[in-house]
A and B are shown apart, each in its own frame.
With several copies, the nearest count.
Chain A
Amino acid sequence: MGLKIIDDIRKDYVCNLIRGGQRAEGRGFREYREISVDGDTIKRAEGSARVKIGDTEVLVGVKLDVGEPFSDTPDKGVIITNAELVPLASPEFESGPPNENSVQLARVVDRGIRGSEAIDLEKLCIEEGAKVWIVFLDIHILDDDGNLVDAAALGAIASLLNIRIPNERYGLTGENTLPMRETPVAVTMVEVEGNILVDPNFNEENAATSRLTVISNADGSLSGMQKSGSGGLKEEEIVEMVETGIEKAGEIREKYLSPL
């Protein structure tokens, strides 16, 4: 905490580049870094995905367990999303209980999945009011070079697309695949020096004062949104970000989720 001199220098460097119409790594303002999605890397999980966006790396694992439904939705399964910013992933992260950044990360990813009704939770009911599947979605950050949200959200939906329900472990019968209906994709943008940049890396995140995550579905509708950072945005900037977000989400869905 507390601005350090090196942060100022990095910030100036990023801002200067951008004023000149450039980004580090020679990327365009609307261009993502290289993305890779490796599915099913973790045997112990019912589903998993390792996502890299540039040097940012996130591992998402899904475990299923049998438990009680919430009392106000007795016929529906439960999703519990958790994010750990383990100190391995960044010199800024510290050990300890979830702080506001990891809580926000988990909640934004969770909101996208709920808002789009991606999982048909009613199909996760085993016995109304008594027994449902609990879907534990755990986001484990391995390397934070910026834009954790998009990597985590992509890892989450990729993990969910290939779940085998462990009916046999609990002596149950029933479908073994998780019923998925939608593929929400998160696209995060920042505003730096009046320009909108897609997929900010770590230095760009620090140079920006406002960030907006736009989560959208296959039909171009929105299923979640979150501004963060201590800056303000104008209506027209937000509208432009929403449109860009929907467009980029389509490209990512096509390229990385369709094959799954």
Chain B
Amino acid sequence: MKEGKTERKLIIDGKRMDGRGFEELRPLKIEVGVLKRADGSCYLELGDNKVIAAVYGPREMHPRHAQDAKMVVIKCRYNMAPFSVDDRKRPGPDRRSVEISKVSREALDPVIMKEYYPKMAIEVYVEVLQSDAGTRTAGINAASVALADAGIPMTDLVSSIAVGKIDGEVVLDLTGVEDNHGEADMPMAMIARTNTITALQMDGHLTKEEFKRGLKLAMGACHQIYELQRAALIGRYSKSEEREERKRE
């Protein structure tokens, strides 16, 4: 909803309000395996966004008539904690979260080897604990890592980021203030290794050239994110192995 915008300078002396350059990501922090009960989990911070993702399954699919005889069914639920936003969010799904749940599921779906588990379900849950624009991309990044942590067979990870337009400039990874006063927001998700785009939405106003520039910018950032996701997973496995070894000693 771009109508809220009032005149507010978002870029001063070529720098954004938080000091970032146009093509710079916010700080990204990824922790793997943070929950006991979930089969896989990931806690992720992207700037002031705090999200947690959990994966359950493959397990029995309910209701039965929604089972797929050929492949596993992916369920995905994006949810905001009531205190994660400025005005308290009423608990339960709203139209926005229903749409984001669908977009997130479709972003992750292409990398999951679904034929391995016919009739079963894999459930992906994303909880937004604190939000500052970009929660859906943060959630997709976290969910992708949580799927790997759960040992779900995947062809690759999915990485996600938004680009947008503020003060007439195409920039990477909008904050909440930039999103509220900016001219466009374009979240996307990508399989970094193959440059395959699995999610793309656009909201606001962009020329064709701005769009092309933004898409390239987002693709580049996804490669960075991919490396951070990999590093977090490697850190996790090496720690597990250390523990294993210590046990054996």
Contacts and interface: CB of A to CB of B under 8 A. Distances in A.
Interface of A: 1-3, 41-45, 48, 55, 57, 59, 61-63, 65, 72-73, 76, 82, 84, 86-91, 95, 97-100, 103-104, 106-107, 111, 114-117, 121, 136, 138, 140, 142-145, 202, 212, 220-235, 238-239, 242-243, 246
Interface stretch (B7-15, B206-214, B227-235, B240-248): B206-214
21 contacts: A2-B66, A3-B70, A44-B86, A63-B88, A86-B127, A87-B56, A88-B127, A91-B59, A98-B98, A115-B184, A115-B204, A117-B2, A136-B83, A140-B82, A144-B37, A212-B200, A226-B200, A227-B200, A230-B110, A232-B191, A246-B208
A194 to B, nearest CB: 14
Nearest to A223: B205
A142 B52 CA distance: 9
Contact of A114 (B3, B99, B102, B129): B3
A229 B196 CA distance: 14
A63 B99 contact: no
B19 interface: no
Interface in B1-42: 1-4, 35-38
A121 B56 CA distance: 42
A63 B212 CA distance: 38
Which among B56, B109, B127, B199 has the greatest number of chain A C-beta atoms within 10 A? B127
B15 to A, nearest CB: 22
A2 B69 contact: yes
A233 B106 CA distance: 12
A143 B37 contact: yes
Interface of B: 1-4, 35-38, 48, 50, 52-54, 56, 59, 65-70, 77, 79, 81-88, 91-93, 95-96, 98-99, 101-103, 105-106, 109-110, 123, 125-127, 129-131, 184, 186, 191, 194-208, 211-212, 215-216, 219
B52 A88 contact: yes
B208 A88 contact: no
Contacts of B195: 234-235
Contacts of B36: 55, 143, 145
Given A222-B211, A223-B204, A140 B81 contact: yes
A138 B129 CA distance: 12
B207 A42 contact: no
Nearest to B63: A1
Contact of A222 (B53, B77, B106, B202): B202
B197 A233 contact: yes
B211 A2 contact: no
Nearest to A230: B109
A212 to B, nearest CB: 7
Nearest to B70: A3
A63 B191 CA distance: 38
Q: Which 6 A-B pairs have the closest CB atoms?
A: A61-B83, A225-B202, A232-B196, A230-B109, A88-B125, A45-B83
B69 A3 contact: yes
A63 B35 contact: no
Contact of A44 (B131, B202, B204): B131
Contacts of B101: 100
A121 B3 contact: yes
Contacts of A243: 208
A140 B127 contact: yes
Given A87-B123, A106-B95, A230 B203 contact: no
Given A107-B99, A143-B37, A242-B211, A61 B68 contact: no
Given A61-B81, A234-B196, 13 more contacts: A48-B83, A63-B82, A87-B77, A100-B98, A221-B208, A222-B205, A225-B186, A226-B202, A227-B197, A228-B106, A230-B109, A231-B110, A235-B215
B82 A138 contact: yes
B219 A62 contact: no
A59 B80 CA distance: 13
